Chains A and B, each alone.
Chain A
Amino acid sequence: MKKNITINLFGTLYQIDEDAYDLLKNYQDNMRSYYSHIEGGDEVADDVEHRVAELFTELRANGKEAITIEDVEEIIHRIGDPTQMDDSNSDKRDETKASGNAQTAQESEGRQQRRLFRDTEDKIMGGVISGLCHYLGVENILACRLAFAILCYFSFGTSILLYCLCWALVPEALTAEDRLRMYGRPVNPKAINEEVMRGATVAKEFVNKSSSGVASFLGTLVKAVFYIILGFFGLIAGVVLLSLLVAVIVALFAVPFGLLAGFSALGIVSPEVLSVVTGFPQWVLWTFVVAAIVVLTIPLYAIFRVLTHSKKEKNMSSGVRFGLVLTWIVALAVALSSFGYMTAAIEHIGTREYNNWAERGEKTGNFSGRFSNELDKSIEERLRNVDREKVEDVRNAVKDFVLGVGNAVGDVVDDSFDAGIKALDCAKSSVDSIATADESTEKK
C-alpha cells in the first residue's frame, strides 16, 4: 500500500503515488537546472512539464485513477534525459566527452569531490559504515563491518559511542546528486538521471520486499542486538569510563570555583595567592578553565545543531566539522592534564609549600616570602590584628580546606577507577567462564 498525494499541474489536479512524485520531481528539477544555462531553456523545461501533464491526462482518460512510479518511469523514458534531448550543437560535445581524456578528467574530478554521507540504502543500522567505505573507496563493506564489530569489543565500547556520534552528525545521502558525490562519481545531468532512475528501481524492490513490516523490524532489531552484544562486555567498562568522565568533568568545574570561593571567603582571593599556596602556576588554572569550557560547549553546540538543523540549510563543511572535533579532543586533553596537575599540586605540593610558608612565618614572625609585596602587606595587616589563637584557626582552616578539596577530588577519581576495574574484572571472569564452559562441552 502506498501513500498517494494530489498535485496540481497547470490548474488540473492529478492523483499520484508519493514515490512516483519524488521521481518526477527529481527528473524535472534535473531538467530545469540543466536548461537554466541555455538561452530559452526555461521554455523547454516548461514544454516538458506540459507534455507530462498531457500524458497524465491521457492515463486518466484511460481509466487510471492513480499515477504510479512505473507510469512516471515510462514517461521519463519516452521524453528522455536532458543530454539525449539536446539539440545539434551538443552532439559534438557528447563526442568529445566520450573521448578518453575528457571522461577520465570528469571521473577524477568526481573522485576528488567525494563527500562523506551515510548510505541509507545499504544500511544495517544507520548506514555509517557503508557511507564511510564509499568515502574511503573501500569495496568490501562486509569486511569493514566485521572489523568494526571486533573494534567494538577491544575499544571498551568507545567505538559504539563514536558510531552514534557519526550517526547523528554525518548527513544522509538523500538526493541523486548526494549519492553521486558519496560514490565519488562525476556529477553531470546524464549521471543524475541514471541515478534517479536507479533509485526508483531500488525503492520499488524495497517496497516489495518489506511488505511484511514485522519481519523487517525484527531484522533490524536482531542486527542491533548483534552489535550490542558484541560490544557488551566492552560496553560495561565503557559506561564506567563514561561515568568517570562525567565525574571528572563535574569535578573540573567544581574544583576551581570551590577553591576560588573558599579562598575569597578567607580573604585571600587572588589567583596569585592561590597559585602560591598550592604550588602551580596561575596560567594552568586559566588554561584549565578555558579548556573545560570548550569541552562542555562543543558537544552542546553539536547537539543543538543536529536538533535544529533543517534540510534547507547548508551542512557544515567537513573541514569545519573535523576542526571542531579536533579542537574538542585537544581541549579535553588539555583540561584533563591541567586538572591532573592541579589536583596533584593541591594534594602534595600545596601541603608542603603551605607547611614551609607556615614555618617560615612562625620563625620570622613575618608571613611573607613568596608572596608579592602588596599581598605581604595586606596579609600581615590582617594577621596583625588577629590573636595568636585565631591565627592558628585560620591556618588550620586554610590547611583543612586545601587538603580537604584535594582529598575529595582524589577520592572521587580513586573510587571511579576502582569501580571501573571491578567492572572489568567482572566482565573478564564472565568471558572466561563462558570460554571454559565451551571447552568442557567440546571435550565431551
Chain B
Amino acid sequence: MNNENSKSQMRKGMLEYCVLLILRHGPSYASDIITRLKDAELIVVEGTLYPLLSRLKKDGLLSYEWRESTQGPPRKYYVLTEAGISALLEMDETWNGLARTVDLLKSATVTNGIVKPE
C-alpha cells in the first residue's frame, strides 16, 4: 500500500514537467496530451490533468484557445507562454540535477559501512 503512494507521489511530482515538455513542440489539447503521456509510458489517471492544466493557466504558464473540430465538441488548445517557456528551462535544470543525484547514489559502493560515490 505504501509503495503505491510513493510511486504515485513521484509521478504526480513529474507531471507538471512532463506536460510542459509535451507542449514545447506546439499547441495541443487535453486528450492529445493524455495520449502522448501514455505513449511515454507514464500511467496517470486522466482526471489529474484537468486541475493541473487549470492551475498552470492560472499561474500564467499556459494559455489556451478554442478550436472547432470536425468530429465531436470544440477543443481547448493549450500553448506555452513566455513564462511557461522559462519555467520549462528552469525545470530542465532541476531535473538534470535530480537525475545526477540519483545516478550518484545508484552507482555508489559501500566500504566499511560508509557509502562512497565512485
- Given contacts A47-B30, A87-B55, whether A80 and B47 have CB atoms under 8 Å apart is yes
28 inter-chain pairs at a CB distance below 8 angstroms, sorted by A residue, are A11-B73, A38-B51, A39-B58, A40-B54, A43-B54, A44-B50, A44-B51, A47-B53, A51-B31, A53-B72, A54-B31, A54-B72, A54-B73, A54-B75, A56-B72, A57-B71, A57-B73, A58-B72, A79-B46, A79-B47, A81-B47, A84-B48, A85-B45, A85-B47, A85-B48, A85-B50, A87-B51, A88-B12
* Whole-angstrom CA separation of A11 from B71 in the bound complex: 11
Within 8 Å of chain B (Cβ to Cβ): is A304?
A: no
Interface residues of A in 1-51 (CB under 8 A from B): 9-12, 38-40, 43-44, 47-48, 50-51
Given contact pairs A47-B30, A50-B76, A51-B30, A61 touches B71 in the complex (Cβ within 8 A): yes
Q: Would A80 and B45 be within 8 Å (CB), given that A10-B74, A47-B30, A57-B72 are in contact?
A: yes
The B50-64 residues at the A interface (CB cut-off 8 A) are 50-55, 58
State A87–B54 Cα separation when bound (angstroms): 10
Across the interface, which residues of B come within 8 angstroms of A53, CB to CB? 72-73
Q: Residue-by-residue, is A77-108 near B (CB-CB < 8 Å gives 1, otherwise 0)?
A: 01111101111100100000000000000000
Q: Are B30 and A80 in contact (CB under 8 A)?
A: no
Counting chain A residues whose Cβ lies within 8 A of the other chain, the interface size class is 20 to 34
Whether B73 pairs with A84 at a CB distance below 8 angstroms is no
Within 8 A of A (CB), among B11-49: 12, 30-31, 45-48
Least Cβ–Cβ distance between A197 and chain B, in angstroms: 14
A48 → chain B closest CB, angstroms? 6
Indicate if the CB atoms of B54 and A51 lie closer than 8 Å: no
**Cβ of B75 and Cβ of A50 under 8 Å apart?**
yes
Which of B48, B50, B75 counts the most A-chain CB atoms under 10 A from its CB? B50
Residues of chain B within 8 A of A39, CB atoms compared: 58
- Asked whether B45 lies within 8 Å of A79 as measured between CB atoms, the reply is yes
Q: Is residue B9 contacting chain A, with contact meaning CB distance below 8 A? A: yes
Residues of B within 8 A of A40 (CB): 54-55, 58
Docked CA distance A87–B50 (Å): 9
> Which B residues lie within 8 Å of A10 (CB)?
73-74
Question: Which residue in chain A gives the minimum CB-CB distance to B71?
Answer: A57
CB pair A47 B31 closer than 8 Å: no
